[in-house]
């Protein structure tokens, strides 16, 4: 009974791994790259070639004794006004994560006057692009033809190997 259960569990796991779709995963952006959240970065230039999508994360790394991560509205962003932030993301560790869970413009500044030194970031969160469409099928013969998709063949091979290994262990 135990060996049959183990075999079924191994088979189920292997099949789930083989059939799992290849999804695009959320991206984590370290704000300012190697410089982090510091006055040494031009955030307007840093953000210019990036696309921020729903589900991505902003990761602020900074000197916790000098800086903070405050989310403000557009007016306070432009004026570097930190008196009434919409949200204070500062946890005190100098490693703060902000989930991009709304498609809108968001504005972040550092307090203690650092905003005037350039520590301000504006990001626009977008909906993820749609997945690429499959090419149209030209005829019925093309439908019957077996296609080897590289995203499925390798996981399927590993799954079959795992099931075979489990089968041999159970039988042996």
Q: Are 110 and 129 in contact (CB under 8 A)?
A: no
Report pLDDT for 18: 41
Q: Which three-class secondary structure state does DSSP give residue 120?
A: strand
Six token digits for residue 93: 């560790």
3-state SS track over 31-61: CCHHHCCCCCCCHHHHHCCCCEECCCEEEEE
Q: How far apart (Å, rounded) are the C-alpha atoms in residues 126 and 129?
A: 9
For 150, list phi and psi in degrees, rounded to 5. Answer: -60, -25
Report pLDDT for 153: 55
Q: Would the pTM count as exceeding 0.85?
A: no
Report pLDDT for 40: 86
Report pLDDT for 162: 67
Chunked in runs of 10, what are the mean pLDDT values of the chain (172 residues)? Answer: 51 43 70 94 95 96 94 98 96 94 96 94 92 73 51 60 63 62
Q: Are 66 and 36 in contact (CB under 8 A)?
A: no
Report pLDDT for 131: 79
Report pLDDT for 17: 46
Pairing state of beta strands 105-109 and 120-126? antiparallel
Report pLDDT for 59: 97
Contacts 24+ apart (CB under 8 A), 75-82: 76/107, 76/109, 77/107, 77/108, 77/109, 77/120, 77/122, 80/109, 80/115, 80/116, 80/120, 82/109, 82/111, 82/115
Order the strands of the 95-99 sheet from edge to edge. Answer: 28-30, 57-61, 95-99
- Exposed, middle or buried by CB within 10 Å (0-12, 13-18, 19+), for 152? middle
Q: How far apart (Å, rounded) are the C-alpha atoms in residues 24 and 64?
A: 33
Report pLDDT for 129: 82
């Amino acid at each position: 009974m135990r060996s049959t259960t183990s075999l079924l569990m191994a088979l189920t796991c292997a099949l789930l791994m083989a059939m799992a779709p290849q999804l695009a995963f959320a991206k984590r952006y370290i704000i300012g790259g190697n410089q982090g959240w510091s006055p040494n970065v031009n955030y307007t230039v840093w953000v210019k070639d990036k696309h921020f999508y729903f589900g991505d994360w902003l990761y602020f790394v900074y000197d916790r004794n000098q800086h903070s991560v405050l989310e403000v509205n557009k007016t306070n962003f432009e004026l570097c006004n930190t008196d009434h932030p919409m949200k204070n993301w500062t946890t005190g560790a100098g490693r703060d994560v902000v989930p991009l869970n709304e498609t809108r413009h968001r504005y972040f500044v550092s307090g203690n006057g650092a905003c005037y030194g350039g520590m301000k970031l504006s990001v626009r969160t977008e909906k993820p692009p749609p997945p690429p469409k499959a090419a149209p099928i030209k005829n019925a013969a093309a439908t019957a033809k077996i296609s080897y998709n590289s995203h499925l063949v390798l996981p399927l091979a590993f799954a079959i190997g795992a099931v075979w290994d489990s089968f041999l262990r159970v039988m042996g």
